[in-house]
Amino acid sequence: MTKFEEIKARDKEYFMNTYAPVDVAFESGNGCYLTDTEGNTYLDFLGGIAVNALGYNHPVFVNAICEQAKKVSIVSNYFYNETRGLMAEQLVKGTNLKKAFFGNSGAEANECAIKLARKYFKVKGENRFKIVTAVQSFHGRTLATVTATGQEKYNKPFAPLPDGIGIYIPYNDEEALRNVLEDNEVAAIMLEPIQGEGGIIPASESYLKLCDKLTKEKGALLILDEVQTGAGRTGKFWAFEHYGINPDIITCAKGIGGGVPVSACLATEKVAKAFVPGDHGTTFGAQPLVTAVGYAVCSKIREDGFMQDVANKGEHLMEGLKNLNDNRVVDVRGKGLIVGAETISGEFAKEVYNRMFKKGFILNVCGGKVLRFVPPLIITTEQIDQMLVALKETLNEIK
Ligand SMILES: Cc1ncc(COP(=O)(O)O)c(C=O)c1O
């Protein structure tokens, strides 16, 4: 048995059957490369699904983990800790959002946002409790967030689902937005600025601006799920910063920890005030180890020039994908280093994915037939070009 076969056999025996993994196990990574148990290396355009912002083995990430692990990892939220404040400060910097609650996953950040929105209206004495989300959205796998997720395949098997969530409107549809906000039981509109799992579908600028304006006019809240788009991925720290809007709550995870499980729900002062001690909590969230790493990673991303570089590389990638000039790639879209190339079919996308994998490039298929590119933010233009050459070759191979 090879080392990989042993790993696979143990996994099959003991790990719950919730994924259909590819036949590979990675042992180490460096920069934007991963190495498997057989010693093969891969150039990674998935980055742990938009998580490894600084790639693998980055000194900022490694030093922050090692230094903090030597000091203290977890103390509980019964005590103050220096790093949670430092990380929260980095997250809200330059925005209208003033306070953070930390969790461990994107789903937990969204769960917190839903609870906070409901509590906000309870405190105000208004009967607003409905959480409206978009068709084709993705917000997580807890019962509340999977209900918020506008894709039946994820939530239908788990019915009965919680009340007052699961109200879906078509994304980018201004009339649907106006109509739903006529219902004065709506507490919040919750949207991804770019739908990630749904197929890298950006919200239009006018739509997001209208969401901001109408929620304010109608007295509902705007929650933006920046779990996939946050932490510099779009070329600004938060995607919403491209549009001059002021969401009441945003949620984030993935890139903010650069590889450790940390997420956050950020809110304006006014909304955050609705939570008082005892309303919400977690054992692991906000603890020194993960927030020290998150602080270091976010500080690196906020360094001068870093996000401009992400924006430039994103444009280079999109240009390169458009220049493939292949009629089986029907659309290229995204912002910064969250880019999708929609293909003619799921089967075709899968074929491209498989062939690219064999050549040592890790891509991903989302939204059924969209090739997703969410590489570490430190990817270079040369590495992007290398992938584009392989992609062109791959498309030529497929008849
Ligand atoms: C936009 C968005 N929200 C929420 C989540 C859920 O995050 P997690 O898997 O960390 O719970 C994801 C995960 O892909 C996501 O893309």
Distance CA 373, CA 367 (A): 13
* Antiparallel, parallel or unpaired: β 167-169 and 130-134: parallel
242 CA to centre of ligand 1 in angstroms: 21
* Alpha carbons 54 and 52: distance in angstroms, whole number: 6
Query: Is residue 140 lining ligand 1, measured as CB closer than 6 Å?
Result: yes
- Confirm or reject: Cβ of 84 under 6 Å from ligand 1: no
Listed residue (251, 164, 265, 171) closest to 210, CA to CA: 171
Show Cβ contacts of residue 389 under 8 Å, excluding neighbours closer than 6 positions. none
Task: Report d(CA 44, CA 63) in Å as an integer.
Answer: 22
Q: Which residues contact 284 (CB under 8 A, 6 or more apart)?
A: 74, 104, 261, 290
Closest CA to 352 of 289, 342, 238: 342
Q: Is residue 309 annotated as a catalytic residue, yes or no?
A: no
Q: Do both 132 and 23 map to the same domain?
A: no
Q: Are residues 214 and 322 in the same domain?
A: no
Instruction: Using the mean position of ligand 1's atoms as its centre, give its distance from the Cα of residue 145 in Å.
Output: 9
Tokens of 182: 């006529």
pLDDT at 299: 98
Report the nearest atom of ligand 1 relative to the CA of 251.
3
Instruction: Kindly state whether residues 218 and 323 are assigned to the same domain.
Output: no
Nearest-10 crossing angle of helices 59-71, 288-301: 150
Q: State which residues form the domain around 13.
A: 3-57+304-397
Identify the domain boundary among 301, 324, 354: 301
Quick one: pLDDT at residue 136? 97
User: What is the 192 CA–ligand 1 centroid distance (Å)?
Assistant: 10
Contact in structure between 275 and 307 (CB atoms under 8 Å): no
Number of structural domains the chain divides into:
2
Best of 104, 108, 133, 138 for a ligand 1 pocket test (most atoms within 8 Å of beta carbon): 138
Mean pLDDT of all residues in 149-170: 97
Ligand 1 atom index nearest CA of 195: 1
42 lies in the same domain as 161: no
Average pLDDT over residues 358-370: 98
Look at residues 265, 280, 301 and tell me which one is the last residue of a structural domain.
Answer: 301
Is the same domain home to 214 and 135?
A: yes
Same domain as 311, residue 296? no
What's the CA-to-centroid distance between 150 and ligand 1, angstroms?
A: 13
Q: What is the pLDDT of residue 399?
A: 86
- Mean pLDDT, the chain, whole residue set: 98
Residue 65 lies in a domain: no
Q: Give the pLDDT of residue 26.
A: 98
95's tokens: 């925005």
Please tell me whether residues 215 and 270 are part of one structural domain: yes
Within-domain flag for 62: no
Catalytic position from the list 44, 212, 225, 309: 225
Rounded mean pLDDT, 103-107: 98
**Cβ–Cβ contacts within 10 Å for residue 302, how many?**
15
Q: What is the pLDDT of residues 216-260, one digit of tens each?
A: 999 999 999 999 999 999 999 999 999 999 999 999 999 999 999
What would the pLDDT profile of 108-119 be if each residue is shown by its tens digit?
999 999 999 999
> Does residue 39 lie within any of the structural domains?
yes
Q: What is the pLDDT of residue 369?
A: 98
Q: Cβ(353)–Cβ(366) under 8 Å?
A: no
Question: Which residue, of 285, 301, 317, is where some domain finishes?
Answer: 301
Q: What percent of the chain has pLDDT over 70?
A: 100
Strand, helix or coil for residue 133: strand
Q: Is residue 63 part of a domain?
A: no
Q: What is the pLDDT of residue 91?
A: 98
Note whether 169 and 251 are same-domain residues.
Answer: yes
DSSP letter, residue 316: H
Q: Which helix (H) or strand (E) holds 217?
A: helix 205-218
How many helices and strands in the chain, by DSSP H and E?
Answer: 14, 17
Q: How far apart are CA 302 and CA 34, in angstroms?
A: 25
Asked if residue 241 and residue 177 are part of one domain, the reply reads yes
* Residue 287 sits in the same domain as residue 323: no
Q: What is the CA radius of gyration of the chain?
A: 21
Whether pLDDT at 207 is above 90: yes
138 is catalytic: yes
Measured from the Cα of 107, ligand 1's closest atom is 11
- Clarify whether 306 is annotated catalytic: no
Q: What is the pLDDT of residue 220?
A: 98
pLDDT tens digits along 32-85? 999 999 999 999 999 999 999 999 999 999 999 999 999 999 999 999 999 999
Number of residues assigned to the chain: 399
Same-domain check for residues 288 and 322: no
Q: Is residue 310 a part of any domain in this protein?
A: yes
Q: pLDDT digit string (tens) for 287-337? A: 999 999 999 999 999 999 999 999 999 999 999 999 999 999 999 999 999
Catalytic residue among 254, 300, 313, 369: 254
